[in-house]
Amino acid sequence: MDCPGVLAVPLGSVVVFTPTIVTKWEKDIPEKIVKSRRGKMKLVSRDIDKNSSGCVTLIPDEPEDMWHAYNLVMIGDELRSTTIRKVQNESATGSVSVNKVRTTLTIRVETIDFDTQGCVLRVKGRNIQENQYVKMGAYHTLDLELNRKFTLGKQEWDSICLERIDNACDPTQHADVAAIVMQEGLAHLCLITPNMTLVRAKLETNIPRKRKGSCAQHDKALNRFYDQIIQAVLRHVNFDVVKCVLVASPGFVKDQFVEYMFHQAVKMEYKNLIENKSKFIMVHSSSGFKHALKEILQDSAVTAKLSDTKAAGEVKALDDFYQMLQNDPNRAFYGANHVEKAAELQAVETLLITDELFRCQDIKQRKRYVSMVDTVKESGGDVKIFSSLHVSGEQLGQLSGIAAILRFPMHDEEEDDSDDD
């Protein structure tokens, strides 16, 4: 009930980072990361009381921060941000004029929309703080924008949320990788950030087979296919940010492509490509499908380079789970009911859970998962929260979204688990 009060105080006294502070802060961080030239989400203020209710002010700095914000905002929360509102004015004579006004609004969240490709977060709700333009209770949709601060107020900040804020604001976790997974006729250009795998381009063309006497059609189609990939690379890969570009394919396609690409780069003077030639790494993959990314991130040559990417860690954890399932099925559980039982007995060594489960709209469900995480942590277990945007997270999501490696074998006497698909 004290919520409006809570919000009112910090909103009045917002501390904003001045540019000078930001630069100073950037100097403090190790040189390796400065290279990436990008800040992370900035925590402006944090005001959470003993009952763990309160609010937090953040400035998203890059598209990925929107993903974090998406995972933080829940229905029933209060969100305050600047926005543009169409305001109707009626003059004394009765003529109506409409103008757009930039104003700051606070809404109680009712629906949340996230566009993974565009990284746009849209939150709809009723206005709870009347101002001169917008009446109390009027609906408004806030589009969270980059580099504009927003304040999120919650009745209860649980450990998952707080951890996410920490993660989001931790600059050392940063490494961007682009990956081209390809096979003849199919290519995926993906950007892998710590928390997201974004398919930027999916190219699929029909390449005629080589046939007796004429390879011309094949070669032509293949070159056109390669050209398309090059265009996609030029368009989507920002070499200021991307640390390396993984080119993965079965067979010789990757070699052929890289050779062709640099040949073309010289010919067409793609400076971007020529300068960043060293960033291209060839990796073997078994196919050109998106899920082959999992293999790539497991490749030892790649993991050595990307030791700090969350994606690679997730892949490893899931792989461990499968290994355990093979070697000792009684020590690898999945499904909420099974894992919960194991967690109660303090049997969970590593808990794998996707963030999808925490986004669920049912507060009770969410509480259940949060408490599961907390119990595991208390008992000294390791918790890995998978991003559902990564390939491994996607797979875990298919596998009921929750899995656990146990310390000791347990028999699952309960045969019929709720089969949710």
Partner 1 sequence: MARHRNVRTMNYEDEYYDEDDVYGHSVEDNYCISPATAAQFTFNRDHHVNLSNYMEEGIPEEEEGSEGEHDPLSDSGSGRRHLNLTEMEEGQLNSCLEEVRNVLGETVPEQVMIQTIINHKYSIEKSLNELLSLQDAPKPQRQPRQNRRNRSQEFAPNPPTVQLKTPVKKTSAPEVINFSTNSTSSPTVDSSKRQPVIGFTPVKNDITNKTKESNPRTQNSQKQEPVSAENKSDVPDASSELCSNNVEVSRKESLQETTLSTQTPKKESVGGATPKSTSKSKQDKAKLKEEFEKRQSGKDLLNLVVIGHVDAGKSTLMGHMLYQLGVVNKKAMHKYEQESRKLGKGSFAFAWVLDETEEERSRGVTMDIAQTHFQTPKKHITLLDAPGHKDFIPNMITGTAQADVAILVVNATRGEFETGFESGGQTREHAVLARSLGVAQLIVAVNKMDTVDWSDKRYDEITKKLGQFLKQVGYRDTDISFVPCSGLNGENLVKPISEPKLSSWYKGSTLAEQIDKFKPVTRQMDKPFRLSVSDVFKGMGSGFSIVGRVASGSVQAGDRLQVMPSGDVASVKNVLLEDSDGTCGFAGDHVTLTLTGMDMAHVNVGSVLCDPNEPIKCATRIRARVVIFNIEVPITKGYMVEFHYQAITEPAVIKRLKSQLNKTSGEVVKNRPKCIVKNSSAVIEIEFERPICLELYKDYKDLGRFMLRSSGHTIAAGLVEEVLKTKSKTEEDSSEKD
Beta carbon nearer to partner 1, 89 or 214:
214
CB of 242 to partner 1, least distance (A): 25
Q: Under the criterion CB under 8 A, does residue 397 sit at the interface with partner 1? A: yes
Beta carbon nearer to partner 1, 202 or 236:
202
Cα–Cα distance for residue pair 386/160, rounded to 1 Å: 12
CB of 339 to partner 1, least distance (A): 12
Q: Under the criterion CB under 8 A, does residue 399 sit at the interface with partner 1? A: yes
Cα–Cα distance for residue pair 135/128, rounded to 1 Å: 9
CB of 179 to partner 1, least distance (A): 16
User: Edge-to-edge, what's the strand order for the sheet holding 332-334?
Assistant: 332-334, 402-406, 348-354, 382-386
Cα–Cα distance for residue pair 405/284, rounded to 1 Å: 29
CB of 198 to partner 1, least distance (A): 18
Instruction: Enumerate residues 320-359 that contact partner 1 by CB under 8 A.
Output: 322-323, 325-326, 329, 334
Residues pairing with 101 in the sheet:
85
- The angle at the Cα of 240, spanning 231 to 27, to the nearest 5 degrees, equals 170
Cα–Cα distance for residue pair 33/193, rounded to 1 Å: 14
Query: What is the DSSP secondary structure assignment for residue 389, as one 8-state letter?
Result: T
CB of 160 to partner 1, least distance (A): 22
Pick the piece of the chain touching partner 1 (CB under 8 A) from 263-271, 302-310, 361-369, 390-398.
390-398
In 19-119, which ranges are E strands?
Answer: 42-48, 54-59, 78-90, 96-115
Beta carbon nearer to partner 1, 89 or 323:
323
Beta carbon nearer to partner 1, 104 or 395:
395
Instruction: Enumerate residues 113-172 that contact partner 1 by CB under 8 A.
Output: none
Residues in binding contact with partner 1, number by CB under 8 A: 42
Beta carbon nearer to partner 1, 310 or 338:
338
Cα–Cα distance for residue pair 84/79, rounded to 1 Å: 15
Pick the piece of the chain touching partner 1 (CB under 8 A) from 34-42, 238-246, 271-279, 397-405.
397-405
Reported residue count of the chain is 421
Q: Under the criterion CB under 8 A, does residue 413 sit at the interface with partner 1? A: no
Among 89, 172, 223, 398, binds partner 1 (CB under 8 A): 398
Among 40, 80, 149, 294, binds partner 1 (CB under 8 A): 294
CB of 251 to partner 1, least distance (A): 4
Cα–Cα distance for residue pair 34/172, rounded to 1 Å: 10
Kindly calculate the radius of gyration of the chain based on its CA atoms and give it in whole angstroms: 25
Beta carbon nearer to partner 1, 82 or 395:
395
Give me the 244-273 binding string for partner 1, x by CB under 8 A, dash otherwise: ------xxx---x-----------------
CB < 8 Å & 24+ apart, contacts of 262-268: 264/226, 264/227, 264/230, 265/230
CB of 362 to partner 1, least distance (A): 22
CB of 236 to partner 1, least distance (A): 20
CB of 343 to partner 1, least distance (A): 17
Amino acid identity of residue 156, one-letter, is E
What does the block give as tokens for 104? Answer: 């700051």
- Residues 81-116: b if buried by 16+ CB within 10 A, e if exposed: bebebeeeeeeeeeeeeeeeeeebbbbbbeebebeb
Q: Which of 303, 346, 294 is nearest to 321 (CA)?
A: 294
Residues pairing with 198 in the sheet:
191
Instruction: Enumerate residues 188-227 that contact partner 1 by CB under 8 A.
Output: 206, 208-212, 215, 217
CB of 243 to partner 1, least distance (A): 24
Q: Under the criterion CB under 8 A, does residue 44 sit at the interface with partner 1? A: no
Interacting residues toward partner 1 by CB under 8 A: 206, 208-212, 215, 217, 250-252, 256, 284, 286-287, 289-292, 294-295, 319, 322-323, 325-326, 329, 334, 391, 394-400, 412, 415-417, 419, 421
